[in-house]
Every structure is written in structure tokens, then in C-alpha cells.
Amino acid sequence: MHLEAGWDGPPAHVHERVDHLWYVLAGEALLTIDGRRDRYAQGSCLFVPAGTPHAFGTGDDSAAAMLQVDTPQSLDGYFRELVETFPPGLPVDPARVADIMRRHDTRPRDVSRSAVARLDPMEHNDALLTRSFELAAEARAAGDHPFGALFEVDGHVVAEARNRIYSDHDMTAHAETALVLILEREHLLDQAGGGTLYASCEPCPMCVGAMFWAGVRRVVFGLSSALLMELATPPGNTPVGFTITAAEIGGAAIPPMHFDGPHREDEAAIPHHGFWVP
């Protein structure tokens, strides 16, 4: 990257899935990492892990050049969209830059993961939750377990999935893992950190892990795993399942995941009535 003299650079931002390795090739770069702002001369090498607020520029009369290596994925699409949206000579609109960032696993610092954690627990889209219940009913009608999930970004549903363990002969094909596969196949994982996954039921530990590694950070769900276990256990039998909650697992992750639920459990339970226990 060529950093022009006097350039303040982009606003401080966060990537949930992408690590940076920065190497200053020439000049002196002004780099900010997790709130610490310093100048780094040619030959400096720094690692910026996912989830860390950062920014770069020059800030004075001297230019600089810097090599950036991204892992596990490239941010080439982000830079291409920036160039296409703001050709040389066109004024840069910060609000439009923020929109582009959100589409490419990038968030302005003021809506970082700490801000997400403070979201009102009742702030969710009821229509999307209802749709997850409908997907659960569709899964049951198809002969699979009654679970559904979808993923939305800025209020728009970008992918839907239902449980497919019998349809696909795959006991790991839960609604959430099936949804993650769709996001990956459709090249939508770069949007995972900026949207919300809606699930008809509280995700199991396997699904929490799959969602985390895909970059999903916010989940809204209907039925609690505790009530599901109760519905699925015949009278007199010992319950089978996990007692740890999705919120407990997500809260122990770095960066943390935010789980919002249960919601409307009476409705969420409808596809399960008579399914587990005749």
C-alpha cells in the first residue's frame, strides 16, 4: 500500500475474522493498534489480530509504503469497491465508506464488538423470528428435525436453511451448520460479522462453534435448549443433551458472541409438539 503524505487514513475499524501482518517498506507510517498510536519506520513489522481496533496513515508531510498480509481471507473486494465508489478526485463520503466496510468484515470502531454486546436484548425483528419458526415447520414436514435458521444483514435476508439430517444423511446437518455452509458457498462469509442469525431454537454447542468460526457474532433465537430438552424427554426418562447455554459458550469466546433469547417460546415450541414424544 502507498500511503500519501498528510493522509490520515481510514477511521479506526475492526475485523472480526481477518488478521493483518503489517510491514513498513519505506518511509514512516502512523499506525494505531488498540488505541495506541505510534510512528513506525522502514523495517517495522506488526501483527494485528482479528477483533483489534486499528487504523493507518501518515499524518505529516512524508509518504510511506506498507505491505499488508491478510489471513485467513483477503480484503481485496473491500479495496476494489472503495476504488470503484470513490475514483480519484471524487470526495469521500464517510457514511458510504462505513456501509462498504460492513459488507467486508469491517466495522467502524464506534460499532465494534463492545458496542454490539450492549444492544438492547429485545431489539430484534419479529418477522424474521417468525420465518425461522416457519423453516422449522418445513423441516418437520420434510421428515427432518424441526429446526430452522436464517441470516440477515441490514434487515435483508441473505440466506435461509432448515435442519437436513435425514435429507442429507448427515447428523451434523443442523439448521445453523447448513446455513453456515450456504454462506460459505455463496461467498457471503465476509458479511457474517455485520448481520444477525435468527434460529428457531437455541443453537447447540456444535452450531455455536460453527457460527463463531464463520464470523457470526449476533444470534437471536426462539426456543430455549432447556425447554427443548423437556419437550424431547419421554416421561420417566433421563434427559439427553447439554446443560451449558449458547450464551455461556459465546461469552467465553474471543471476540465474544451475543445471544438474544429465548423469545416467543410458545410459538417456537409448536413444531416440536408430538415430534419427540408421541
Question: What is the spatial distance between Cα 175 and Cα 182, in angstroms, rounded to a whole number?
Answer: 11
Catalytic residue among 28, 152, 176, 202: 176
The reply to whether 81 belongs to the active site is no
Q: How far apart are the first and last CA of the chain?
A: 64
Catalytic residue numbers, as ranges: 176
